Amino acid sequence: MPIENAGEENIKTGKLQEHTEDATGEFLTTNHGLKINDDQNSLKAGERGPTLLEDFILREKITHFDHERIPERVVHARGSAAHGIFKVNEDLSRYTRAKFLTDTSVETPVFVRFSTVAGSRGSSDLARDVRGFAVKFYTEEGNFDLVGNNMPVFFIQDAIKFPDLVHAVKPEPHNEIPQAASAHDTFWDFISLTPESAHMIMWVMSDRALPRSLRMMEGFGVHTFRLVNEENKSVFVKFHWKPLLGVHSVAWDEAQNISGKDPDFHRRDLWESIENGDFPQWELGLQIVPEEDEHKYEFDLLDPTKLIPEELVPVIRVGTMTLNRNPDNFFAETEQVAFHIGHVVPGIDFTNDPLLQGRLFSYTDTQLIRLGGPNFHEIPINRPIVPIHNNQRDGHMRQTINKGKTAYGPNTMANGCPFQAGRMQGGFTSFPEKIEASKIRERSASFFDHFSQAKLFFNSQSEPEKNHMLDALSFELGKVEMLPIRERMLYFISQIDEGLAAGIAHNIGMHVPKSLAMSLNQNIPADGDPEKYRSIVKEGSLAESQALSMVNTRKDSIKTRKVAILACDGVNAANLLAVKEAIMTEGGLVDVISPRFGFISGADSDEPIAVSKSLLTTASVFYDAVYVPGGTNSVATLEADADAIHFLNEAFKHCKAIAADADALQVLRATYFGRKLPEDNSDETVMMEGVIIGGEAATLARQFVEAIKQHRFWEREKPRKVPA
């Protein structure tokens, strides 16, 4: 039956429309049968204006999405969290009247939840994924939630596309496979038809998607917000969290091993660090753009797929957040915490970013079903530290016992209470942005440069980072079964970098298409202008940005870095203890690892040495570096132990710092990289590609510490032909 006649027979007979399993050839409709003209854009007041509450299509689509799963979060299901404090370092009253950002004497309590996005609660911490970075500030003016990610941009520009994105990346519905992975057809089918995702795909396929620790990743507010001061003057702001430990990642092969050996790796790392008193810290950074500079740049500040390069607008570091207490109960706190981008305080306001606008509706709607009703704010972890006074009563799981007769306003029976607070009394007032526009479903032409910042991100990476992106994209597209999707993605990536696309094509046995017979975006409204949906590439003045490469992160500390010392009976105890002491003095953590638990004896000491872990219960992927002390019997035992040799081989493969005494060189000789090592030399320390051998113990320890600070020695990896 032709699509224009679909359902006609049912209408004539008065029968209810039968449920169908296949939408092939059918028009898109609402849940009530209304044909949809535009499913790509929310209804806005002008192309750069706010999203309108009357957009019943947006609300129906997101409401259905928000309520799809209970009680687990639809996205960000797997999380871990901690309590802490935030303290601003300078008075920011020139920008905002938010008290927690202006009073340097105040310590604001915070609760921070980190999460993966795509996987279920039982998935691995080390999935290749975006990480949620949500901070709840319990301020004296109410709660402020900064709900962001560890990446500064997002896949889509309009919230109406969020259900589609998540449906595409989640396990495919016919078999619930794969879990917590984007390497499958539905995700890349969506991406290949959504060029606005180009920039975010570069981030997700980079090492940023595989953080070494939650304590070693950046956080971003993603959207452009407003700060408003006492004079009601507004500036635009981007929020950043900069970790004091630097930004570091693990290797992809290492991540897969960790997922098999300890899927709770990030959760355990955060918990143990806080329990040990090694409190994670981040500096809050702001990128401030004056109101008059809104249209100054070659990108649109309201486009959530774009960032502001730090070379154009430096990040001002204004305060420090310290996480210093673990939750008392995972469910009551980590699982029941309810963040909302709409939880703001006076001095912080929104912009017309269409993704942000949709989130303002979606978060409350989600909590209603996940936490059982409208009173989720009364759960202890969600309660503000200030009293709550309003006329809201009753509802599911109400905790507060309200006294009195009046639950309305205005009233005289309660003397008008609770009163409205004027602006000068701390009441929230929205920034009076002037808007004159028509109601339309369109995007601003300034949103259609999809590839310039994707190019900027790729060009800013070091050679090893580019190689890792090549590997990631080759792996992901190698898992895609449908040839047309792979072809579209190769063409898509060639718009970012032709060399990258060629490398991927070689790895998956294909050629890069010179053109496509179809548009990258198939969902053009019937009455829309196709030219507006053309993927524009701007040649911007900024070719690279140092802030986008992890190579340029701080590398001045080994605090909380975990170092393995491989040793057996007969070890050189003096050297072992000297290196251990040097590492711990610098804030590193040390585990002595042996084939068995218990204690080992030193060749030069009667004092037994406690073994922290055995080779049967741990692996090199849990450590940042490895040291092998000397001692004839210890060395001989390790050389003959296959697990010890594998431990060293993996550490080398994953580009970690390795140190060994001169008389332990024979252990390293038994590894696959042993043939590269220099000849025996017990007089001087020799270092090659992060492997340090021989010399006096104090000198070796000092050089080993410096090597660990570098995080990884990526030059060990085989070279790949990815253009610079």
Q: What domains, with CATH codes, occur in the chain?
A: 44-382 (2.40.180.10), 451-551 (1.20.1370.20), 555-716 (3.40.50.880)
pLDDT recorded at residue 653: 95
pLDDT band at 24 (very low <50, low <70, confident <90, very high): confident
Distance CA 640, CA 651 (A): 18
pLDDT tens digits, 658-699: 999 999 999 999 999 998 887 765 667 788 889 999 889 999
Mean pLDDT of 491-507: 96
Tokens of 12: 């004539």
pLDDT tens digits, 370-429: 888 888 888 999 999 888 888 888 888 888 888 888 888 888 888 888 878 888 888 888
pLDDT tens digits, 229-284: 999 999 999 999 999 999 999 999 999 999 999 999 999 999 999 999 999 999 99
Using only C-alpha atoms, the chain has a radius of gyration, in whole angstroms, of 28
Tell me the β-bridge partners of 564: 591, 626
Half-sphere exposure of 107 (CA within 13 A, CB side): 8
pLDDT recorded at residue 523: 46
Residue 537 has pLDDT above 60, yes or no: no
Nearest to 576 by CA among 562, 593, 561, 560: 593
Distance CA 185, CA 194 (A): 14
Angle at 681 between CA 675 and CA 685, to 5 degrees: 95
Q: How many residues does the chain have?
A: 724
Tokens of 388: 């709550």
**Phi, psi torsion values for 168, nearest 5 degrees:** -70, -40
Tokens of 645: 């040799």
Tokens of 485: 């999707």
pLDDT recorded at residue 517: 58
Q: Averaging pLDDT over each range in 45-54, 59-68, 437-446, 643-652, which range is the top one?
A: 643-652
User: Of the residues 41, 76, 240, 257, which is catalytic?
Assistant: 76
Distance CA 549, CA 567 (A): 37
Residues above pLDDT 90, as percent of the chain: 73
Residue 520 has pLDDT above 60, yes or no: no
**Phi, psi torsion values for 39, nearest 5 degrees:** -105, 10
pLDDT band at 724 (very low <50, low <70, confident <90, very high): very low
Specify the amino acid at residue 607. E
* Cβ pair 684, 694 in contact under 8 A: yes
Distance CA 658, CA 661 (A): 11
pLDDT band at 74 (very low <50, low <70, confident <90, very high): confident
Q: Which of 22-36, 514-528, 611-625, 693-707 has the lowest average pLDDT?
A: 514-528
Tell me the β-bridge partners of 243: 282
Q: Averaging pLDDT over each range in 480-484, 538-542, 602-606, which range is the top one?
A: 480-484
Which residues, in sequence order, are CB contacts of 718 under 8 Å at separation 6+? none
* Cβ pair 652, 689 in contact under 8 A: no
DSSP per residue over 245-313, as a string? T---B--HHHHHHHHHH-TTHHHHHHHHHHHTT---EEEEEEEEEEGGGTT-SSS-TT-TT----TTTS
pLDDT recorded at residue 525: 39
pLDDT recorded at residue 531: 46
pLDDT recorded at residue 60: 82
Mean pLDDT of 78-99: 97
What does DSSP assign to residue 676?
G
Which residues, in sequence order, are CB contacts of 74 under 8 Å at separation 6+? 65, 66, 68, 166, 366
How many Cβ atoms are within 10 Å of 297's Cβ, its own excluded? 17
Tokens of 393: 């009563």
Distance of alpha carbon 256 from the chain centroid:
18
pLDDT tens digits, 158-217: 999 999 999 999 999 999 999 999 999 999 999 999 999 999 999 999 999 999 999 999
How many Cβ atoms are within 10 Å of 65's Cβ, its own excluded? 19
What does DSSP assign to residue 383?
-
Half-sphere exposure of 397 (CA within 13 A, CB side): 12
* Cβ pair 448, 532 in contact under 8 A: yes
Q: Kind and range of the H or E element at 490?
A: helix 483-494
Question: Catalytic site residue 149?
Answer: yes
Tokens of 642: 């296959």
Distance CA 62, CA 66 (A): 6
pLDDT recorded at residue 721: 60
- Of 449 and 533, the structure prediction assigns the larger pLDDT to 449
Angle at 29 between CA 24 and CA 30, to 5 degrees: 140
Distance CA 132, CA 221 (A): 10
Residue 18 has pLDDT above 90, yes or no: no
pLDDT recorded at residue 722: 57
3-state secondary structure of 98: coil
- Of 717 and 125, the structure prediction assigns the larger pLDDT to 125
Mean pLDDT, the chain, rounded, equals: 90
Nearest to 538 by CA among 450, 415, 407: 450
**Phi, psi torsion values for 283, nearest 5 degrees:** -100, 135
* Cβ pair 208, 150 in contact under 8 A: yes
pLDDT band at 19 (very low <50, low <70, confident <90, very high): very low
Tokens of 182: 């984007």
Which residues, in sequence order, are CB contacts of 169 under 8 Å at separation 6+? 117, 118, 182, 186, 187, 190
Distance CA 204, CA 180 (A): 13
Nearest to 320 by CA among 548, 101, 143: 101
User: Of the residues 149, 326, 352, 521, which is catalytic?
Assistant: 149
Helices (H) and strands (E) in the chain, counts: 17, 21
pLDDT recorded at residue 422: 82
Residue 604 has pLDDT above 60, yes or no: yes
* Cβ pair 618, 680 in contact under 8 A: no
pLDDT tens digits, 119-129: 999 999 999 99
Tokens of 208: 């940023």
Angle at 54 between CA 52 and CA 56, to 5 degrees: 115
Look-up of token digits 């797997």: 78
pLDDT tens digits, 326-351: 999 999 999 999 999 999 999 999 99
**Phi, psi torsion values for 296, nearest 5 degrees:** -75, -25
**Phi, psi torsion values for 137, nearest 5 degrees:** -95, 120
Tokens of 366: 């989600």
Handedness of CA 581, 586, 587, 588 (dihedral sign): negative
Q: Kind and range of the H or E element at 59?
A: helix 56-66
Nearest to 629 by CA among 557, 571, 679: 571
3-state secondary structure of 504: helix
Angle at 172 between CA 168 and CA 176, to 5 degrees: 140
